Amino acid sequence: MARRFWLGIAALQVLALGLLYFTWPPVVLTLLVPEDEAQAWQPLIQSFEAKHPKTKIRLTTTKNLGGYLSKQLKEGSCLPQGSPDLVYIDVIWVPEFAVRGCLQDLSGRFGTEMRSQFNTQSVKDGEYYGKSYRVPLRSDMGMLYYRSDLLSQAGYQKPPQTFTDLMKISQTLKQKKLVEWGFLWQGDQYEGKIATFVEILAGHGGYWIDDETRQVGLDQPEALQAIQFLRSTLKSKVSPTSVLTYSEAESLTQFRAGKSMFLRHWPRAKFFLANDKTVKSVPMQLQSQDHPGGPCNGSWGLGIAKKTHHSDQAWRAIQFFSSEQAQRQFTQATQFIPSHKAVLKQESLEVQQAIAKAIDRPRIPEYDQASEILQAALSQALNPDTTDQAVEKIMRKATAETYQLLNPPS
């Protein structure tokens, strides 16, 4: 009798727990992404929610011109409420977010087996002082787009490998009136200008900031040569002066209109250029003399906000979104370069090799301020009315300001 009584009680408890499970509201995770990626994220979120019905993801979007997404995250990520649970973050912000305590240390979750699934560079991009704060989602790097049908008319069979060749091809095609411009890039005063400059700087053998010594190289001969190259594209009309107001959007619009031979952009541009079969692309790694160039590293990944109350659910979401199947689906929809090794095999060998040679912007917590100093300096230095002598003065001033930022008096 007593046994049947306690069995009945146990059955009622199981029933009550079952009812509680099915009636308890699901956990809602928030995720902020650039608005032009929303369409690619929606089917992934639907698939995740179908597999994990007790976890929902509320997707919010914002324009990301000038790194606005990261600035919005920085304003909210350390607050108890209002910040996304899942933090979709660009490589340049990992050190600052880690130092500010905005992100959880994922080292205990992101183990050796899982780490081995991604290319080494992308894993490193999410680390800061030996701790992991971000799981790779996509590799991203500067690309050089070109019109393959016009190359032979300029006397070349392959895209340029040097700055000199890029200028020669551009000038030849302009003289033949086959294009209006030779080379389009991002010159507005925002982060896109920095990415462009980092690639030109590397190709001339220069450096911006040494992460280890915190020395600044913006006034060195190599840096000045890089600036003079960009100035020469304007003086020779290989690039329009209006390029100094271009972001990714404006430069891509002009290139799609058939007005230029070359375009410096990101892998995302392939999505918008897919219908033009004459357009090809290679990693942006132009060089000068013996200095190997490289594309700017712009990888992205997912972290977990320090203030979230749903760490376990957020980790399950990251595991899903970074999986081989999800990355394959995401990169097909966006034309981004995947970080997952199995999916990365679909890219050309040249792209795979370029990831390892990608040029990092300084991995420092003070990156935002350092970038603003350089943005302002480049805007002055690239102004056509600025003299060569003034360029040196501008860059010496930027060097001093950056050094003071990184090495304040004790």
Tokens matching residue 42: 């929606």
CATH number for the segment(s) 25-140+298-356: 3.40.190.10
pLDDT in tens, 253-288: 999 999 999 999 999 999 999 999 999 999 999 999
pLDDT (0 to 100) of residue 10: 57
In which element (H, E) is residue 95 found? Answer: helix 94-99
Measured CA to CA, the distance from residue 103 to residue 304 in angstroms comes to 6
Tens digit of pLDDT at every position of the chain (410 positions):
566 655 556 555 655 455 444 565 889 999 999 999 999 999 999 999 999 999 999 999 888 766 667 777 766 655 445 578 999 999 999 999 999 998 999 999 999 999 999 999 999 999 999 999 999 999 999 999 999 999 999 999 999 999 999 999 999 999 999 999 999 999 999 999 999 999 999 999 999 999 999 999 999 999 999 999 999 999 999 999 999 999 999 999 999 999 999 999 999 999 999 999 999 999 999 999 778 899 999 999 999 999 899 999 999 999 999 999 999 999 999 999 999 999 999 999 999 999 999 999 999 999 999 999 999 999 999 999 999 999 999 999 999 999 999 999 87
CATH number for the segment(s) 143-296+366-406: 3.40.190.10
Q: What is the number of other CB atoms lying within 10 angstroms of the CB of residue 288?
A: 20
Q: Which residues contact 327 (CB under 8 A, 6 or more apart)?
A: 137, 138, 321, 338, 339, 340, 343
* Helix, coil or strand: residue 123: helix
Measured CA to CA, the distance from residue 265 to residue 252 in angstroms comes to 8
- pTM, two decimals, is 0.91
Q: In DSSP terms, which residues pair with 279 in a beta bridge?
A: 147
pLDDT (0 to 100) of residue 68: 64
Measured CA to CA, the distance from residue 245 to residue 280 in angstroms comes to 25
Q: What is the 3-state secondary structure (H, E, C) of 329-358?
A: HHHHHHCCEECEHHHHCCCCHHHHHHHHCC
Q: Which residues contact 152 (CB under 8 A, 6 or more apart)?
A: none
| Spatial contact of 185 and 239, defined as CB atoms under 8 Å apart | yes
Question: Phi/psi of residue 240, each to 5°?
Answer: -75, 150
Q: Which residues contact 60 (CB under 8 A, 6 or more apart)?
A: 30, 31, 32, 33, 84
Same fold, 25-140+298-356 and 143-296+366-406: yes
What are the distances in angstroms from CA 169 to CA 64, 123, 157, 165?
33, 38, 11, 6
Nearest Cα neighbor of 336 from 137, 64, 134 is 137
pLDDT (0 to 100) of residue 13: 60
Measured CA to CA, the distance from residue 9 to residue 202 in angstroms comes to 72
Domain ranges of the chain: 25-140+298-356, 143-296+366-406
Q: What is the CA 178 to chain-centroid distance, rounded? A: 33
Q: What is the number of other CB atoms lying within 10 angstroms of the CB of residue 74?
A: 17
pLDDT (0 to 100) of residue 19: 47
What are the distances in angstroms from CA 289 to CA 70, 161, 164, 198?
37, 10, 10, 17
